Structure formats: structure tokens, C-alpha cells
Amino acid sequence: MGFRLTKTADKQPPLAAEPLEYGGLKANLKKEGWTLMGVVRLSAIVGVSVPIISAQALVVKFSRRHWWQLAGLWHRTISRILGLEVRLSGLERKPNATLYAANHISWIDILVLGGHLPNASFIAKSEVAGWGLLGNLCALHKTEFVNRGRRTDSARQRDYLAERIKAGHSLILFPEGTNTSGVHLAPFKSSLFSVAEHVTAHTDEPLRVQPVTLAYTEVNGMPLVRSQKPRVAWLGDVELFAHLQQLLNQARTVVTVELHDPITLDDANCRKELARYCEAEIGKGLERAHRAEFRHGPRDRQAATDQPSE
């Protein structure tokens, strides 16, 4: 019942490696039909979403403190229905607000991080607010929509984000500014870390910034190699529903999430160094995930070598 790749025509001219992944994915999605598992999962998503989202709309309207319980529940429930197995490493329960900086691969990242990072909202570009149902779902998770093109709004937006931080709410930022295939990172935009400068300047305690590595490592029990990354990465001009249909037809997808040591702006001295630190830590985490060190890591290997020989 897993996803089956279809072969492209032999007469089709060869393409470069990266565009071939994008184009091949789009062609496969158009030809891929519904499986029984996909239909059942889609029905389950609708069935659980109606009551949870209805209750969440009331909570967001009348309460500022307890919004994440239902929002996180919805994200985790949808993740389970989609067959996502999240392997989390390094999360510490801290009372203080945190700015999480994560690499961005797919819309699936929203489900994974939204369900496992407590009391954390996303920072997204303002265009997302107009994406119909998707924009409404983001609003229910108290996403902060930022207009990056208008400088006149920057100060007001930073002030509001600072107030969210002071109130104990954490924020989730994608410093690449776009999604990638998950093989390599796009350069981090240091300007997106300006919220850390603003919060630090208006609070007594510096803001914790914690890098987070997201990696999709297995599909249906098999390692997710480079050529298969489009099974989870949302790339090119592939439509969202077509990508969702493909995911519904996959039995199980393993997601590894590694949270690295936090840092403050004082530790980094400036936001450019802060961006470099996060990019370096997330990059190393991505390499470890690709080498499957979460399951057979250096600690396990060291423990094995320390065992006395018989």
C-alpha cells in the first residue's frame, strides 16, 4: 500500500539532478491514484479536525494562556494519522520563552514542530495569512504574520513579538526563508533574527535561541535517499493537495528532530554570529541524521567498544 514510483518516458531528455526530482515528483503525483489507506486517513483527518478546530477557535478567541493544548493536540493527532513517527532528541522543559530556529523542508514541518514544541507559535510571511483554509489554521496556532517588505511595519511587528516573548510564549522561525530538499541548507538570513535583538533590548533577561534540526530519514521502513527526498519535501510548483495525497499513501515516515544547545545574543555578540551558529549546528545535525546516528550513534558505538572482551 506504499507509494510506488512510475517511470518517466525513455524519450524524455535527461535533466539535472535537482530539477529531475521536482519534475518527476509532479508527474508521479498526477498519475498516482488513491489507495484504501489514503482514503481512510483523509476521512480520519476530517473526522478529528472538525471538533478540535471548532474548540480551538473558541479557545483562541476567549483565552490567551491555554491555546496550545488543543493546537498541539491537533498537530500530533494529524501527524499520527499521516503515519509520521517523530523521534525527538534534546528537548528540555524550560519555563522561559525560547526562539526556535529550524531548517525548513515541507509543510509537514508545521505539524511536527507545532505538536512537540510547547507553547510555541510560528513566524510566517504575511502572504500565508491569505492562503484560505491553510491561513486560517495558521491563525488558530497563533502564528505571527510578518510583512518583510514594508519597513514601516517592522518596528510595530517587533514590538508585538517582544510582548509575546515577555508573556512567556515561544516562537518558531525558519531562518532559510524558504523550504529546501532536506539534503543541504539554504543560507540563513541574519535579518530574521532581529527579533532577538529587539527582545534583548527591552527585557532584563536575554532571549534563548535554540537551533532545531529537522530531517526525514525513512519512508516505509527504507532509508530516504536523495532521489526520494521529494516524497516529503514540498518543492517546485507541486500543489499542496497532491503532495498530501502522496503522503497519505505512505505507510510510515520517520522524522528526526534534534534540539541543539541554546545560545543568547550576548553569547553571539551580534545577530550575524547568531545566524552562523544556528546554521552550523543545524547543518551538523542534518549530517548526523543522514548517517542515522540517532539509532546507531557515537554514544552507542563508544559503549560497545568499552565492553570488556571475553
In the numeric block, which cell numbers belong to residue 256? 528526526
Per-residue model confidence (pLDDT) at position 1:
40
Q: What angle do CA 39, 246, 80 make, to 5 degrees?
A: 65
pLDDT of 113 reads 95
Query: What is the per-residue DSSP string for 211-229?
Result: EEEEEEEEETTEE--GGGG
CA 21/CA 27 separation, integer angstroms = 10
Residue for grid cell 541554546: 262
Q: Do 148 and 125 form a contact (C-beta atoms < 8 A)?
A: yes
Instruction: Give me the pLDDT at residue 238, please.
Output: 74
Between CA 165 and CA 178 the distance in angstroms is 24
Q: Which residues fall within 8 angstroms of residue 207, CB to CB, at 6 or more apart?
A: 97, 98, 99, 165, 195, 196, 199, 200, 264, 265
**Largest alpha-carbon pair distance within the chain?**
72
Question: Cβ contacts of residue 243 below 8 Å, gap of 6+?
Answer: 29, 106, 107, 234
The model's pTM is 0.80
Domain chopping of the chain, boundaries: 17-292
Asked if 200 and 99 touch (Cβ cutoff 8 Å), the reply is: no
Alpha carbon distance 87, 246 (integer Å): 22
Q: Read out DSSP for 280-297? A: HHHHHHHHHHHTTHHHH-
310 residues of the chain, pLDDT tens digit each: 443 333 344 444 433 334 434 444 444 445 567 889 999 999 999 999 999 999 999 988 887 778 899 999 999 999 999 999 999 988 776 667 899 999 999 999 999 999 999 989 998 887 787 777 778 888 888 888 887 666 556 667 777 787 888 888 899 999 998 888 888 899 999 888 888 887 777 777 788 999 999 999 998 888 887 777 878 888 766 777 888 888 888 889 999 999 999 999 889 989 999 999 999 999 999 999 988 665 544 444 344 334 443 3
Q: Does domain 17-292 have CATH number 3.30.70?
A: no
From the list 24, 35, 110, 34, the residue with the least C-alpha distance to 74 is: 110
